[in-house]
Amino acid sequence: MLNLALVALGGALGSTARYAVGLGATRWFGLAVPYGTMFVNITGSAMMGFLVALFARKIDASPELRVFLMVGILGGYTTFSSFTLDAMALWTKGAEVSSVLYTLLSVSGGLLAFFLGASLARQIV
């Protein structure tokens, strides 16, 4: 139950940060390119990589702290960071082919699912 509360709290913080970055990027750069989303995805992935390496080499973080930071805050900030963590975990375990397939299928599957969902909505509405 504690982990669920930590994820919820961290998710709220991460989502708020994502929203603020999106607003700021829109004000600075306009809507022509989704710079806010791109910034969040890249920085979230960088932060995930930083935390993974930090926890593996320097800091013996509790499972609760890891859940709060990595699943909660970064998961709320961007699920892209979780995606990159999973892809890199496969790669570093020696499953390079699985990592590449996971990446390609996730991206292409997400785009296809978005298209299909939008098509279904157009038929219903």
> Tokens in use for 10?
């961290």
- The predicted model scores a pTM of 0.75
38-15-106 Cα angle (round to 5): 50
Residue range 5-51, pLDDT digits in tens: 999 999 999 999 999 999 999 999 998 878 888 889 888 888 888 99
pLDDT per residue as tens digits for the range 46-85 = 888 899 889 888 888 999 999 999 999 999 998 787 788 8
Q: Which long-range contacts link 27-33 to residues 24+ away (Cβ below 8 Å)? A: none
Backbone angles phi, psi at 50, to 5 degrees: -60, -50
Q: How is the chain split into domains, by residue range?
A: 2-78
